[in-house]
Amino acid sequence: MSATAVEVLGIDAGGTMTDTFFVRTDGEFVVGKSQSNPDNEALAIVESAHDALALWNLGVEEVFADLVTSVYSGTAMLNRVVQRKGLRVGLIVNRGMEDFHRMGRGIQCYLGYSLEDRLHLNTHRYDAPLVPADCTVGVTERVDGQGDVVIPLREAEVYAAVDKLIKKKVEAIAICLLHAHKNGGHERRVAQICREVLHQRGVDIPVFASTDYYPTRKESHRSNTTIMEAYAAEPSRQTLRRIREQMLALGGKFDLRVMASHGGTISWRAKELARTLVSGPIGGVIGSKYLGEQLGYDNIACSDIGGTSFDMALITKGEFAIQKDPHMARLLVSLPLVAMDSVGAGAGSFVRIDPYSKSIRLGPDSAGYRVGVCWAASGIDTVTVTDCHVILGYLNPDNFLGGQIKLDVERARAAVKEQVADPLGLTVENAAAGVIELLDQSLRGHLRSMINAKGYNPIDFVCFSYGGAGPVHTYGYTQGLGFKDVVIPAWAAGFSAFGCASAEFEYRYDKSVDIAVAPGAGDAVKLASCVTLEQAWRELRDKVIEEFRINGFEAADISLKPGFSMQYLGQLNDLEIDSPLPSVASAADWERLVEAFDDTYARVYASAARSPELGFGITGAIMRGIVGVKKPQVPHEEFSGQIPPAAAVTGSRPFYRGGVWKEAKLYSMEALRAGNRVVGPAVIESPATTLVVPDGWVTELDNHRLFHLREV
């Protein structure tokens, strides 16, 4: 392979745009963009690849033959759950527990609602269950909280249950029995009977036992996750297979990997594909962590604006937090998830006037890939944030997506006048400016709250702003927060795809354990605790190795990293700790685990908050396996002075801000060089994104192709 061969492809298939990110062997990269195609994701990926590789004067076919790997992230599986377009699933539970999935946890009735909506009971609702009542069957058995069998499994009822589900024409069967994470014997026997009966009846459908997929406590979380695996993972695997087949048709010989919820990547063939349910926004956090490691940034506030949402995350001391029991699609699940906060506000968000308060309301629904009224072919007749961008001169109507789409300014003006300006008694410009100001103010509040709620101050963080619409709003939502620095990568539009390309090839498995070591406990108790933890690690280690074996890797190729979740006894929350030891087998080893936890606890909270006198408990075992992959290099250029070259200046355009029209200087983002300084009002344009520098602001491009934006 030559030094300039293209080796890695990162894909971010968002709700509005599909980004591709190609990395050469020498670390150089290029970004492509196209409109997302919900009906055919493979087509959108190929179009985006054409857009990217044209910058290197290369064709898709000649590049795909050399690619070593490709990483995908997207929202297809999540959308399938939200829209209830998954498989018809049958559910086998304990007799007497047939309604618990439909009842759900209380919090699920108001997930996604604002505080003001939560105050009114009539706004609370449950979504339709993934499994209907007539496809849920109970069987008699009982395992207690310690894993002891209280009532043996009545197998005759299982045979009858499978017959009933076959008659209901289910397309998959999920099995979720009480306390199966402590003793999975009954679940495995039920699964065995299911496969036996299905084989006899000539029915070929998958069977999912929670103990083999998600052996964690909290029955509703575990059952939701297993049901999602049955309901949405297999149809999504077919989508990934079609993408893989499209790549094969173009000459690709590589395997397709998918961004997983824990921040690593897994194969599309992975046994537990529900781990990829939320993959899109995670790529940006992984990219921020990787870029921060290269540049020495320890504390980073990640902010990503696309067409549909504003996603935020914190990286502190080089690490991002993991949520143990997150919610996805308004369902609580048992999956490790990169901790993020999301708001339904983006460049495609619809703009409406509240009929009662006569105030502007943004979203939460969005035009998605259809942009807004300004695109005549969109079929959209409701004003979006992008329509306001066009009216105010922020966006070049002739260069949206590099000119692939032509935007109609007058069409946008007419819609804003009718739907927003006239009802509020404003000019079109002031109405559009009010929408942008309201959005920026809202995003600023969300970002500040996210940081402060975790006990931090923005002045200790560098803010990374990315996403296709991020650079347009960066000045607005960071103003006055006091960040150390505000950084916008020149490849901001494809930053999530960049994160996919820089992510580890990593499988992670978790298992709930119950280990309690009281203060003053003897060595025998500590040794027994180590034995329990080591047994869980061994079980998880086998699962990790098996997943990599499916992808052609041997155990010797895998770097195994055990971990655990520990808390002081009596506390509600635990901390996830990387084990300082590869295995544990003595009382001295237990003390090493405790020391690692104490150190982490002091760093996260404070030394004075440590409470070793309470004793220690381990609530979960964790095993991660990593295989090395090729990653992109951070660009490095020589400085060429503060004054941009003449070729970078492309003209000027009227720009509305602060109640007046001003003439903004226009720059080509690709033509700017390291060290160049741009003073507002200015608009820096790229085919994939636009960086707005208003009056009173300045930005400088460093030698890593990162823009640093600040108020002067």
Query: Is-contact 348 367, C-beta < 8 A?
Result: yes
Rg of the Cα atoms in the chain:
27
> With a cut of 50, which residues of the chain have pLDDT below it?
1, 3
Strands 349-353 and 360-366: antiparallel
Which token pair is 152? 């043996």
Nearest CA to 265 out of 70, 118, 407, 84 is that of: 70
Task: Take residue 671 and report the two structure tokens written for it.
Answer: 């033509």
- Helical residues (DSSP H) of 54-75, grouped into ranges: 60-64
- Tell me what pLDDT residue 114 has: 66
Minimal CA–CA distance to 267: which of 99, 507, 74?
507
pLDDT, one tens digit per residue, over 306-332 is 777 788 999 988 888 888 888 888 888
Instruction: Please state the separation of Cα 108 from the chain's center in Å.
Output: 20
Look at residue 198 in the predicted model and tell me its pLDDT.
95
H/E element, 143: strand 142-143
Give the contacts of 523 (CB within 8 A, at least 6 positions apart). 587
Are 177 and 161 a contacting pair, CB within 8 Å? no
Distance between first and last Cα of the chain: 48
Burial of 650: CB neighbours in 10 Å, binned 0-12, 13-18, 19+: middle
How far, in Å, CA of 47 to CA of 36, rounded?
A: 10
Query: What angle do the packed helices 185-201 and 155-167 form, to 10 degrees?
Result: 50
| Token pair 């509703």: residue | 220
Cα(345)–Cα(665) distance, integer angstroms? 28
Q: What domains can be seen in the chain, in order of their start residue? A: 6-80+237-276 (3.30.420.40), 85-235 (3.40.50), 282-346+439-502 (3.30.420.260), 505-627 (3.30.1490)
* CA distances, 362 to each of 82, 344, 346 (Å): 21, 9, 9
Plot region of 96 (φ>0 → left; ψ -120 to 50 → alpha; else → beta): left
Picking from 567, 589, 568, the residue whose alpha carbon sits closest to that of residue 579 is 589
Q: Residue 1: its pLDDT value, please? A: 43
**Residue 336 φ/ψ region, left for φ over 0, alpha for ψ in the -120 to 50 degree band, beta for the rest:** beta
Distance of CA 655 to the CA centre of its chain: 34
Bridge partners of 505?
265, 627
Give Cα separations from 234 to 128, 255, 481 (angstroms). Answer: 20, 18, 44
φ, ψ (nearest 5 deg) of residue 69: -155, 160
Distance CA(70)–CA(8), nearest Å, equals: 6
Which segments within 306-377 are labelled E, that is strand? 310-316, 319-320, 322-323, 327-328, 331-332, 337-338, 341-343, 349-353, 360-366
> pLDDT tens for residues 229-252?
999 888 888 888 888 888 888 888
The reported pTM is: 0.85
Q: What is the pLDDT of residues 525-547, one digit of tens each?
A: 999 999 999 999 999 999 999 99
Q: What CA–CA distance (Å, rounded) separates 121 from 110?
A: 9
